[in-house]
Amino acid sequence: MSVGDVFYLTTPIYYVNDVPHLGHAYTTILADAMARWHRLRGDDVRSLTGTDEHGDKIAQSAVAAGVSAQQLADRNSAVFRETWQRLGLGHDDFIRTTEERHEKVVTAILHDLWEKGEIYLGKYGGWYCFGCERFYTEKEIVDGQCPDHRRPLQWIEEENYFFKMSKYQGWLIEYIDRHPDLIRPERYRNEILGFLRDPLQDLSISRPRTRLEWGIPLPFGDQYVTYVWFDALITYVSALGGPGAPAFEKYWPHVHHLIGKDILKPHAIYWPCMLKAAGIDVFSHLDVHGFWNIGGGKMSKSVGNVVEALALTEKYGNDAFRYFVMREMVFGLDADFSEEAFVARLNADLANDLGNLVSRATTLIVNAGGIARVPAAAELDPTETTIRDRFAQMVTRIDREMDEFAFQRALAAIWELIGLLNGYVDFARPWDLAKDPAARPRLERVLYVLAESLRFLGIVLMPFIPEAAAKIRGAVGATGTPRLAEAVWGGLGAGAPVTRLSGLFPRIEDKKGAAVERSAEAAGAASGVERIKKDEFARLDLRVAHVVSAEAVPKSKKLLRLTVSLGDHERTVVAGIAEHYAPADLVGTKVVIVANLEPARLMGIESQGMILAGSADGHLAVLRPDRDLPAGARVS
């Protein structure tokens, strides 16, 4: 991607029979972070969210609530809007399917398809789920029930209007084949191609008014309203004013649809066929994320804890919540949500790593009287040069990861730099330098590196934790809207006004006053363990290893099979880290292994070594060298 690109991003429009919960918030947070990232780059961004208000589900909920469907929609649509505002989530447009601007475009598209002979009146009998608002084929039905809701289906026979979707099957397969990054990540593309191996049915796009009044009337059949999915998908187009409108011409060629995996089929099958039939270009990308589970089971809307999970924003703040959901879930895969894991990350990554860095650095700078001078390039030592060079590398890396919606990898990259900076402070010991007048030039250099790094972090962290990032920028005197072009070394001048910033993310203590993370306890335990001699430790052959490939071990939840290179040879290592890392997180990175461990067989695979990783409170992190070292380098 190049700077100045046009970028149009949509979230699903959420059903108004429900209140916003963790799942909805996750998608909307990702969309907000992605839009912020593109704005930071200088792109021309437009983002859309909204509410899906027609159909059986809403009509039935309204009856149950004793209000009209319109009243229910008004009430709950407002709740979604307010929730996004409270969470600090922006959008350029919020569309409701009951708005006239939308109904007009749906009617025009229906009319056009009817005129073109893409729609016909036919008879249909099938098993229908009111929860999903769709018919199920015999193949999809599980034990006579809806595979999603696990409730009995109802046999419904009626005359309906059908969209000739089946005739697009061959075209769609070819289109997906020719556009490998249309549906991402790849697993969902494969899922759709797998589904398309069976014959595609025509799509019933109407509901008889005798059964359902709450929908957009069909322009060619007044006894019917439009099927809710046919109506809802068109919001992506109607929000731009419909085909031919100036906003449509500008943004539609650059549209990304961000969705959860539950609505893959309507987006990857119905929608491209509808667009093709209507003579509208197919969307550029469908970016599909996985599902949050709570307590191991599939997160269900009937379980109140999904709403409680979202309420944790009030307890711990919007930024911490955003950080957790983006860092914890590998985009495209499912993840478990728990308050414990949330607090562990908050304490480790935000309070310790980032918060301490900011607090230490700003305190040291303020105590030393501010930023005295800008050091010359020739003065920088190798670590400082590495830090400086990381700026440009980091921007390229975040850009690449964000291009693939790999939020977790973008954050991991930024935290590598934060780790490097913390190590730099520990090693440089500026508090000692401050005591020695002769070390003043070195102190000034160290403080400049730190201030400049905070300014850099304040820019690149903006899409992810916007409130904290603004505070960090403020602490080093950076004002105004940040731009990625400013995330280059050397932006700060001498005398930049630095102020102390502590408590950016207060550490969460449990009820007994002990930090929730087990560090204190672990330190105590560590002091009680048996001591060994240095030569005993030296018997371990620890080596830097380059991960060449990684894959899940079939039938195992925990194991990954890695091929690692030690420079002069490759070997297989089986590691119990599958619940914490996706294979893609590891490939291409360097890890540390115990190279002289006796081989062991795990799930029938011989493991020739062990990867070093640390863990606390069910949280696991693989150890990685914080500067580049060749594969095979000794670790001692």
Q: In the complex, which residue's CB is closest to ligand MSP?
A: 23
Cα first-last separation, the chain:
42
Q: How far is CA 20 from the centre of its chain?
A: 18
Where on the chain is the footprint of ligand MSP (CB under 6 A)?
A: 12-15, 18, 23-24, 26-27, 52, 232-233, 259-260, 262-263, 291-292, 299
Q: Is 285 noted as a catalytic residue in this protein?
A: no
Q: What amino acid is encoded at 447 in this protein?
A: L
- Shortest Å distance, C-beta 13 to ligand MSP: 5
* 27 or 565: CB nearest ligand MSP: 27
Q: Rounded CA gap, 570 and 562, in Å?
A: 10
* 7 or 292: CB nearest ligand MSP: 292
User: 54, 57, 102, 132: which is the annotated catalytic residue?
Assistant: 132
* 77 or 608: CB nearest ligand MSP: 77
Q: How far is CA 330 from the centre of its chain?
A: 7
DSSP letters along 186-239, please?
HHHHHHHHHHTTSPPPPEE-EEETTT--SSPEETTEEEEEE-HHHHHHTHHHHT
- Shortest Å distance, C-beta 401 to ligand MSP: 20
Q: Is 273 noted as a catalytic residue in this protein?
A: no
User: 38, 102, 146, 254: which is the annotated catalytic residue?
Assistant: 146
Output the 3-class SS for 422-475: HHHHHHHCHHHHCCCHHHHHHHHHHHHHHHHHHHHHHHHCCCCCHHHHHHHHHH
- Shortest Å distance, C-beta 49 to ligand MSP: 10
- Shortest Å distance, C-beta 619 to ligand MSP: 21
Q: Is 149 noted as a catalytic residue in this protein?
A: yes
Which residues are CB-contacts of 622 (< 8 A; sequence separation ≥ 6)? 577, 581, 586, 591, 611, 612, 613
* 24 or 390: CB nearest ligand MSP: 24
* 130 or 415: CB nearest ligand MSP: 130
**What element of type H or E holds 399?**
helix 382-403
- Shortest Å distance, C-beta 414 to ligand MSP: 23
- Shortest Å distance, C-beta 307 to ligand MSP: 11
Helices (H) and strands (E) in the chain, counts: 23, 26
Respond yes or no on whether the N-terminal peptide bond of residue 185 is cis (omega within 30° of 0).
Answer: yes
Q: Which tokens belong to 525?
A: 């335990």
Q: Rounded CA gap, 236 and 12, in Å?
A: 9
* 300 or 367: CB nearest ligand MSP: 300
- Shortest Å distance, C-beta 46 to ligand MSP: 17
- Shortest Å distance, C-beta 66 to ligand MSP: 22
Which residues are CB-contacts of 16 (< 8 A; sequence separation ≥ 6)? 51, 52, 53, 58, 72, 73, 75, 76, 77, 80
Q: Is 21 noted as a catalytic residue in this protein?
A: yes
* 257 or 619: CB nearest ligand MSP: 257
| CA angle, residues 496, 500, 504, in degrees to nearest 5 | 120
**3-state percent helix, strand, coil for the chain, nearest multiple of 5:** 45, 20, 35
DSSP letters along 68-85, please?
-HHHHHHHHHHHHHHHHH
Judged by DSSP in three states, 264 sits in helix
- Shortest Å distance, C-beta 262 to ligand MSP: 5
CA dihedral sign, ordered 222, 223, 228, 229: negative
Q: Is 256 noted as a catalytic residue in this protein?
A: no
Which residues are CB-contacts of 280 (< 8 A; sequence separation ≥ 6)? 237, 243, 252
Q: What amino acid is encoded at 630 in this protein?
A: P
Judged by DSSP in three states, 20 sits in coil
Q: Is 129 noted as a catalytic residue in this protein?
A: yes
Q: Is 619 noted as a catalytic residue in this protein?
A: no
User: 104, 111, 149, 167: which is the annotated catalytic residue?
Assistant: 149
Q: Is 261 noted as a catalytic residue in this protein?
A: no
User: 54, 129, 256, 619: which is the annotated catalytic residue?
Assistant: 129
* 92 or 262: CB nearest ligand MSP: 262
- Shortest Å distance, C-beta 263 to ligand MSP: 5
The answer to whether 24 touches 15, Cβ cutoff 8 Å, is no
* 405 or 489: CB nearest ligand MSP: 405
* 215 or 458: CB nearest ligand MSP: 215
- The burial of 555, by beta-carbon neighbours within 10 Å (0-12 exposed, 13-18 middle, 19 or more buried), is given as exposed
Q: Rounded CA gap, 238 and 222, in Å?
A: 22
Which residues are CB-contacts of 306 (< 8 A; sequence separation ≥ 6)? 21, 22, 23, 292, 294, 299, 300
**Residues designated as active site:** 21, 24, 129, 132, 146, 149, 298, 301
